[in-house]
Structure 1
Amino acid sequence: MSIPHKDLFKVEEYNEHIPLSFSERPEGFVHSVFANGLNIQMGEGLFFMGTDKNGQLPFGLHLQTSDVHILVSLIRENDQVYWDHVKQTLEFKQHGITITLSKGRSFMNKLKQQPEKTEIVTQHLDAFLTVLISNDEPTGLGLDVEQFMLDYVGEIHLEQESVRRVYDLMDAAVSDDPRHIESTLRYFLGRGKGLTPSGDDHVVGLLALHTITGALSDAFVEGVKALVYHETITTDVGKEYLRYALKGEFSSAVVQIAEDLTLENPEELEDHILNLLPMGHSSGVDTSFGMLLGMLALRRTMNGR
């Protein structure tokens, strides 16, 4: 099938900070290309340009699906890309391709802390858990959510190391012990397959709960920050999600759920969880599981279990 000839593409929507980031680092290259889009590296920042199949991404520029299909069929890894801040365009000169942001809509999916809603958040634990269990998909690290919860409440006893490690993560999330936090994070960050390893997604989910409730310890958040900013501990894409999560910015799919959790009667909570779960190879399940762990840790610190 021949590829339609086209040299000008329009971004439909983009994270509002992206033009400034490009202006600070106007030259870059294509980091990776896949079916739904491509990642470009501009300085130390990674940016996704593609469909909104997985929602609005915190470092995303989203185009029409038909345009994305054309772009990924032409553009290759390591192709050079240039930003023209006057025209608000990205240029792939070797292909004669220009991508304009000038008529796109900007968005910002940033959560705000609402510690006064902490008790409301924990009240939705059972509803949240019911959706995860009915989904009947294990985490990317092979953990069955229902079996884990049966172990958690003491009805069964699982011998899997992965179960013990999850308890370590829950403990580390509210701990003030830097050594315990670091060793636990070193186990999870970068662990799992895909562009965003499952362990990273668990931590992103925890950070989403922390952003709205302040549930996690300062030491845990600082521990994540130290490893993400100063070490090559995970994939480039995983690192980017974590960097934004530390600033309270997440995909629109995660933001919708987190905001639902602060409401007394969130009518769309189940639908929003079901929207997140199938995303990525296992990222939706893994991020949701991280949010669940945050809710469990929060409830445990509030009432002892």
Structure 2
Amino acid sequence: MRRSSDFCKASLYTSCLMGEEIHAQLTAFLSRRPIGRVHSIFENGINLAMEDELIFVGTTKNGRVPFGIHMGQESVRRLRFYVRCNDEVVARTPDMLQFCHPQYPVTLDLSRATSFHYEIRAYHYSSFLDLFHVDTLMATCLTWGVPTGLDVEWNRFLANDYRPDDRQYATIQHAEQLLDALLSGEVRAIAAPLRYFLGRGPGLTPSGDDFLIGLLAVHRLTGAFHPAFLTILRHILETEAITTDVSKAYLLHALDGRFSDKVTRVLNAMVMRNVSYFQTRLLLLLQTGHSSGIDTVFGIANAIMALRRYKHVRTSCDCIGGQRHFAATPRSNL
């Protein structure tokens, strides 16, 4: 494995931290791309840039994330103390990361970390009738009450109580335009509303991007959207500087079917009959981050409401997103 030219210039004293959990695909990835840098540092962890891929190292406060390495709060505090942005990082072996701070080098030992992998179980879904908790989803969001990061209020959204002169009307309109295009197969109408949401809002993961994560999660479960959704979104992300590096990484993972455990468990619980389990998982997602969880649930809710409008299209032998598409019937209220 190749090392950087100044790898051995660090102090002989090295602090060692133990990783507790690691994404199942990450060890193989580190063996292929062993050299990177500290990309960003924040309260719950740090991001590493290993060439063109971001790796999160931190707590599980916001869930177990794709390409994540997780450990306790005290270990994360120590790591944040020792590292600086742009410090070099070298995978000495696939389960040993060296942070090359000139005075305070740190080793992250992954040899005893538990491997994790979460997947949305699409094989449990064959039609809209398999989504057992649609009403519970909407009722929980209504009770939750906290507006989305896009300033959409749940009570007005669920009651369809918006007028063209309302500040949030544009968000609702673009969401409906996007979902109608995805479900009716109007490919030329997909890109414009996608760009409306990409990068919209402040923070490392803007609210508009979290909304799209919710749509992608529903698509992963149902396969209901036109495949151009994935193609167009990937092309925009790979060719345009339209959102943050962190959010781009999460969206690309979602395009490949990788989501946090919190998102994955909500979607899997939708096709399980245990309503209390679903509600518990939904509440855990709603509590995630400042508004990331709420915005992701907003995407899930929009996608499921759209499926309800188009539910006549999907049967056990029809695939919206695949070979067959049908014109929509007139839209109906919830």
Among candidates 190, 215, 224, match of residue 224 of structure 2: 215
Deviation string 1:181-230 (CA, Å, 9 cap, x unpaired) is: 01111111111111111111111101111111111111222211221233
Task: Flag the 1:167–1:79 CA change in 2: closer, same or farther, 3 A.
Answer: same
Matches within 5 A, 1:167-206: 167-206=176-215
1:93 partnered with 2:100: yes
> What residue is the counterpart of 1:263 in the other structure?
272
User: Paired residue for 2:291?
Assistant: 282
Letter in 2 for 1:80: E
> Match of 1:58?
66
Contact 1:122–1:299 (CA under 8 A) maintained in structure 2: no
- Measured after TM superposition, the shift of residue 93 of structure 1 is 2.4
CA distance in structure 2 between the partners assigned to 1:92 and 1:157 by the alignment = 52
Partner of 2:38: 30
**Distance of 2:74 and 2:46 partners within structure 1:** 14
Taking the aligned partners of 2:75 and 2:26, their CA distance within structure 1 comes to 20
Paired AA for residue 92 in structure 1:
F
Distance 1:268 1:115 in 2: 17
**Matched letter for residue 295 of structure 1:** I
Determine helix, strand or coil for the equivalent of 2:193: helix
Aligned residue among 16, 19, 27 for 2:24 = 16
2 CA distance for matches of 1:120 and 1:105?
Answer: 36
Percent identical pairs in the alignment equals 37
Tell me if structure 2 keeps the 8 A contact 1:202–1:288: yes
Q: Any idea what SS the aligned residue of 1:281 has?
A: coil
Aligned partners of 1:201 and 1:290 also within 8 Å: yes
The structure where helix makes up a greater share of residues is 1
The alignment status of 1:48 with 2:53, answered yes or no, reads: no
Find the partner of 2:75 among 40, 60, 67. Answer: 67
In the alignment, the residues of structure 1 paired with residue 32 and residue 87 of structure 2 have an alpha-carbon distance, to the nearest angstrom, of: 20
Q: CA deviation at 1:174?
A: 1.9
CA contact (8 A) 1:51 1:65 kept: yes
- 3-state DSSP of counterpart to 2:272: coil
1:175 deviates by: 4.1
Aligned residues: 296
Are 2:89 and 1:81 equivalent residues in the alignment? yes
Amino acid at match of 1:47: I
Counterparts in 2 of 1:40 and 1:97: CA distance versus 1, 3 Å: same
Aligned partner of 1:7 among 15, 39, 43: 15
Shift of 1:117: 4.1
Verify the 8 A CA contact 1:38 1:72 in the aligned structure 2: yes
Structure showing greater radius of gyration is 2
Whether the 8 Å CA contact 2:82–2:105 is kept in 1: the answer is no
Once residues 210 and 279 of structure 1 are traced to their aligned partners in structure 2, the CA distance between those partners, rounded to angstroms, is: 21
Q: Distance in 2 between matches of 1:241 and 1:256?
A: 17
The one-letter amino acid of 1:37's match is G
Distance 2:14 2:77 in 1: 12
Structure 2 matches for 1:97-246, cutoff 5 A? 97-114=106-123, 116-151=125-160, 156-159=161-164, 160-246=169-255
For residues 214-264 of structure 1, give each alpha carbon's deviation from its aligned partner in whole angstroms, at most 9, with x where no partner exists.
111112222112212332221111111111111111000001101100113
Counterpart position of 2:47 = 39
RMSD: 1.7
**Is the 8 Å Cα contact of residues 175 and 181 (structure 1) preserved in structure 2?**
no
1:120/1:261 contact within 8 Å kept: no
Judging changes above 3 Å, is the alpha-carbon distance between structure 1 residues 284 and 121 closer, same or farther for their aligned structure 2 residues?
A: farther
Which amino acid letter does the alignment assign opposite residue 146 of structure 2?
A: E
| Structure 1 length-normalised TM | 0.92
Cα distance in 2 for partners of 1:129, 1:93 equals 49
Deviates more, 1:259-268 or 1:238-247: 259-268
| 1:30 aligned counterpart, secondary structure | strand
The 10-residue stretch of structure 1 (176-185 or 107-116) with the greater mean CA deviation from structure 2: 107-116
Q: 1:187 to 1:157 in 2, by over 3 A?
A: closer
List gaps (5 residues or longer) in structure 2: 1-12, 313-328
The farther-off stretch of 223-232 and 117-126 is: 117-126
TM-score, scaled to structure 2: 0.84
